[in-house]
Structure 1
């Protein structure tokens, strides 16, 4: 029986989009054929208890390293090779190609027959810097397949690896659970709880960090309120940028029209998407192209919920939008242009219920056609 060793830093209970991607894929593989080797979420009793409780619920074997960050050191590589042999694994899936894919040659010598390395946004950044570009090339040479999220990440990573490695690249984006994210996910109850039942709602679900563009939405609010006066911006998620966002809303005089929910449990996210009339996250590229959006699964989750989307033009975010059909892509920067474009698109949607309905329905159908987890998991099984 061919087993797969998944080697990753990105695994729950550590929160994040990549973590959810890896976990959802692992759950759709045969649990008798999966062994996960992952880092520890965080040190201390609370982190250890949360990790142990999560691991005990999984249908497959999870082995935790003592470190909070796996790196391709000799010790970690020996541990991975030992697990490969102990469990009789013949294939390896690196949850993030960089840097764990550098262990490829050693795991090949230990008996791995198939090596698959998945890339996200940060590998596209690696492709731009000489030192990390060379390491990415080594990963491409030593693995059987490098996967990519969309055209943006594919083109940049392909430029860093050999032509032979580029030819072996296969698209493997995260999927959407269309049974969880759907138009009847409980949005009205969230609106009622927040006192927003009769108000137009623009919702943004994401970590609160500068790249995501929540500040652009706040800067756009004065123009939106001038044309749709009762609009509320519902900011769902937690993160280090919240204090700055609150200060910005105060300085622009729009604080009464912005609601911050803080971090929301994953099980409650579909209802929070459903609380919106429009989903908007005008993400932007930062740090000279080193901080970009890899794909933006939240746009697809919003589409599955039946919402039109307004996305930023950072990295692979446009890959998650059918322009003019499921929503629009706007400039993520500079701030004045981004705010003006975002306001115009959002107002157009808020003022046209039929357009919202049509874009939401097209987005839902697109998710069902292309982005279902089961379809993408089958692609992973074939690669392994």
Structure 2
């Protein structure tokens, strides 16, 4: 075994999406911002992700992060292994256009890990935003859910049993410990708060709600739609904006029709950063009805512009992104969720006080601080000896 030098490392992130992908979300924002912070500190950062229509195979963004896009949603895992091995042994065209020899691999485990520890002799860090126990059955059928949960909770944990982990909240660290990942192997690196335009945006003159997320089943936008249906009698001018895109949008539009609230709901689709700022700033209350979040980036984004959020108490990291009763409310179930939304819409003093507290809370989290913490982890992991052969990870 030999020892690596910490400064100026090449860090390879394996993540099946990037922020330009139609399925991209908060996890991708996190990865790209952290990668940019590493570049600013003298490292190289490459993100290998899936290709999609309209995206180039290779590019470097304004932060100096290199993107390689290969394969699709499922085949990107195969390309990651092929390109890594080709680059490492210098195999022809794949090596010339591939990954080179990264010093550290970061496996972004969005349910299914890349399992790169099976083929990499470089140090590996597993990045887990949240554990998907509840989501497998929502996204897949019974058989698929059992397989996905086995890969995430058993196979992945075993493959990475001697590796460092990074997660975005203490809640996820606690969940990982239940799966057998010792807390001392887990470093918590929170999301930062995106820089928001300084130009103030006035609140709407009518009661308004906003949901900002990918439109997929486990985000449970249906709860927000049903909340509008329950509250519209008390607040006749109530409006909801659903910002984001995803394959579940037709079902959500259909539900809005069934509930008779289509004229009160606007599906905004993909929004730019400027549009996002305007929506979050102008809304009276932000809603995060998601089944599970590792942190809740949109909660802190809303807080940064003085908008309180209502979310669910048992949804993982949101219990840290929302300070219950101070920066917003954490609900116990759907009736309680609607009750809390009603309370905030009706009580302007409480809403304004929570909005101010949410701004103060959001100011604690910066990408610079998160980048420094991640950079320290890179230095610590790459300054130790290369791990032993993979057989030692798989044998009892």
Instruction: Tell me which interval the TM-score lies in, with the shorter structure as reference length.
Output: 0.7 to 0.9
- Cα separation, 2, equivalents of 1:71 and 1:274: 39
Match of 2:103 in 1: 90
- Cα separation, 2, equivalents of 1:258 and 1:48: 31
- Cα separation, 2, equivalents of 1:106 and 1:271: 46
Q: Give the superposed CA RMSD.
A: 3.1
Greater CA deviation, 260-269 or 92-101? 92-101
| Counterpart secondary structure, 2:76 | coil
Instruction: Quickly say closer, same or farther: Cα 1:99–1:227, change in 2 above 3 A.
Output: closer
Are positions 1:208 and 2:215 aligned together?
Answer: yes
Residue 122 of structure 1: how far off its partner (Å) = 4.8
- Cα separation, 2, equivalents of 1:243 and 1:86: 39
Match of 1:281 among 284, 288, 298: 288
Residue 185 of structure 1: how far off its partner (Å) = 5.4
Are positions 1:357 and 2:352 aligned together?
Answer: yes
Normalising by structure 1, we get a TM-score of 0.79
CA contact (8 A) 2:131 2:176 kept: no
Are positions 1:34 and 2:44 aligned together?
Answer: yes
Match of 1:18 in 2: 27
Instruction: Quickly say closer, same or farther: Cα 1:376–1:358, change in 2 above 3 A.
Output: same
Residue 273 of structure 1: how far off its partner (Å) = 0.9
Residue 22 of structure 1: how far off its partner (Å) = 0.7
Give 5+ residue unaligned stretches, structure 1: 192-196, 285-291, 333-337
Are positions 1:380 and 2:374 aligned together?
Answer: yes
Match of 2:185 in 1: 168
CA contact (8 A) 1:280 1:309 kept: yes
Q: Which aligned pairs between 1:95-244 and structure 2 lie closer than 5 A?
A: 95-96=108-109, 100=113, 102-104=115-117, 106-108=119-121, 112=122, 114-122=123-131, 129-143=149-163, 145-161=164-180, 163=182, 166-177=183-194, 179-180=195-196, 187-188=201-202, 197-244=204-251
Match of 1:306 in 2: 306
- Cα separation, 1, equivalents of 2:110 and 2:245: 27
Greater CA deviation, 233-242 or 350-359? 233-242
| Counterpart secondary structure, 2:295 | coil
Structure with higher helix content:
1
Displaced runs of 4+ in structure 1, greater than 6 A?
A: 125-128
Name the structure, 1 or 2, with higher relative contact order (CA <8 Å, separation 6+). 2
* Matched pairs, number: 348
CA contact (8 A) 1:105 1:142 kept: no
Instruction: Quickly say closer, same or farther: Cα 1:131–1:93, change in 2 above 3 A.
Output: closer
| Counterpart secondary structure, 1:121 | coil
Greater CA deviation, 270-279 or 148-157? 148-157
CA contact (8 A) 1:149 1:295 kept: yes
Match of 1:322 in 2: 323
CA contact (8 A) 2:245 2:269 kept: yes
Residue 365 of structure 1: how far off its partner (Å) = 0.9
| Counterpart secondary structure, 2:301 | helix
Match of 2:394 in 1: none
Instruction: Quickly say closer, same or farther: Cα 1:374–1:156, change in 2 above 3 A.
Output: same
CA contact (8 A) 2:113 2:152 kept: no
Residue 27 of structure 1: how far off its partner (Å) = 1.1
CA contact (8 A) 2:39 2:63 kept: no
- Cα separation, 2, equivalents of 1:124 and 1:80: 35
